């Protein structure tokens, strides 16, 4: 899937007009950060990739724009199982090298190198870059995110959890902090730690109660815990917020079928 996406992205990138100003300007940095925020929301929706690329385009700074493209390709290269399409990693490195040639000492750019190495399985190289950057700024949000990516490749649950907490603490704003907390919930869910995931999602909903996807994640946990009444209640809230949200519609049908089956069983033995 990601290989096909990379194949579609590459010709589109060639057609786009990219900034040629060689300076790493503050305007470029701000546009870069906006683009990274959009990529943080990426969950397979190609529109978010396009939106991020437009942000990188707007900064009038070649090093930041090239770094933004590198990060976009890195996100697009990630498979659902956490691995990366090699072609995407290779193209990401090409764009990153252009950025580093013009701006070799910017941490928020250089973290991408560690993430590419981690995706390739070059663990020692990734760790070397991360340790160097930790000496420069150990409380950096983007660096904490790179640590999460590194430890996910290692499969170290304790370190992954630790760096999610560190990323939340290092966040530059409330949306970043909430996003890291929600991602920690996702990680707990992947580890089948449903009670921990539920607690995190409920905390996030307290601050973002119109987020249909968060509500859906809560309903899925209730469903998996066989708490059908709560799953139905939360699913209804999800659909009130976004009636056409596909996963929630499917869950609604599953809940409906389960309850109908229960009614039939009740009549049979009643």
One-character DSSP codes across 120-162: HT-HHHHHHHHHHHHHH-TT-HHHHHHHHHHHHHHT-HHHHHH
pTM of the full structure? 0.89
Tell me: do 4 and 98 sit in the same domain: yes
Whether 82 and 14 share a structural domain: yes
| Burial group, residue 85, by CB count within 10 angstroms (0-12, 13-18, 19+) | buried
Q: Do both 219 and 168 map to the same domain?
A: no
Residues 72 and 164 in one domain: no
Q: At what angle do helices 107-120 and 86-102 cross, to 10 degrees?
A: 150
The pLDDT assigned to 43 comes to 84
Number of structural domains the chain divides into: 3
Residue 171 CB coordination number (10 Å): 18
User: Measuring CA to CA, how many Å separate 65 from each of 35, 37, 81, 89?
Assistant: 10, 14, 28, 17
Do 118 and 96 fall within a single domain?
Answer: no
Query: What is the token pair recorded at 259?
Result: 């309850």
For the chain, 270 residues long, the average pLDDT of each consecutive 10-residue run is 90 96 98 97 91 98 99 95 93 98 98 98 98 96 97 96 97 93 95 97 93 97 97 98 96 94 52
Q: What is the pLDDT of residue 261?
A: 81
Q: Same domain, yes or no, for 98 and 111?
A: no
Same domain (yes/no): 99, 113:
no
pLDDT, tens digit, 9 for 90 and up, residues 78-132: 998 889 999 999 999 999 999 999 999 999 999 999 999 999 999 999 999 999 9
Which residue range(s) make up the domain with 149?
Answer: 105-172
**Claim to verify: residue 1 and residue 99 sit in the same structural domain:** yes
Chain position carrying tokens 């724009």: 65
Three-state SS at 242: coil
Closest of 144, 101, 111, 117 to residue 32, by C-alpha: 111
- The verdict on 82 and 33 lying in the same domain is yes
Cβ neighbours of residue 130 closer than 8 Å, sequence gap 6 or more: 111, 114, 143, 146, 147, 150
Residue 34 shares a structural domain with residue 86: yes
Task: Give me the pLDDT at residue 262, please.
Answer: 67
pLDDT of amino acid 242: 97
């Amino acid at each position: 899937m990601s290989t096909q996406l990379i194949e579609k992205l590459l010709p589109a990138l060639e057609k786009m007009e990219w900034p040629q100003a060689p300076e790493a300007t503050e305007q470029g940095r701000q546009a870069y950060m906006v683009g990274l925020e959009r990529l943080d929301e990426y969950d397979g929706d190609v529109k978010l990739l396009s939106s991020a690329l437009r942000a990188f385009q707007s900064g009038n700074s070649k090093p930041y724009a090239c770094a933004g493209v590198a990060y976009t390709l890195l996100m697009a290269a990630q498979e659902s199982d956490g691995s990366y399409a090699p072609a995407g990693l290779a193209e990401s490195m090409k764009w990153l090298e252009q950025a580093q040639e013009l701006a070799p000492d910017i941490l928020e750019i250089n973290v991408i190198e560690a993430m590419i190495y981690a995706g390739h399985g070059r663990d020692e190289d990734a760790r070397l870059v991360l340790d160097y950057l930790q000496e420069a700024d150990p409380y950096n949000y983007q660096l904490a995110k790179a640590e999460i990516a590194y430890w996910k490749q290692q499969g170290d649950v304790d370190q992954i959890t630790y760096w999610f907490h560190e990323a939340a603490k290092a966040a530059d704003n409330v949306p970043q902090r909430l996003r890291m907390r929600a991602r920690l919930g996702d990680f707990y869910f992947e580890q089948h730690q449903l009670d921990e995931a539920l607690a995190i999602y409920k905390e996030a909903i307290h601050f973002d109660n119109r987020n249909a996807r968060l509500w859906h994640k809560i309903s899925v946990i209730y469903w998996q815990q066989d708490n059908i009444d709560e799953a139905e209640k939360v699913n209804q809230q999800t659909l009130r917020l976004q009636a056409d949200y596909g996963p929630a519609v499917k869950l609604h049908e599953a809940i409906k079928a389960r309850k109908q089956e229960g009614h039939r069983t009740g009549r049979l033995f009643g």
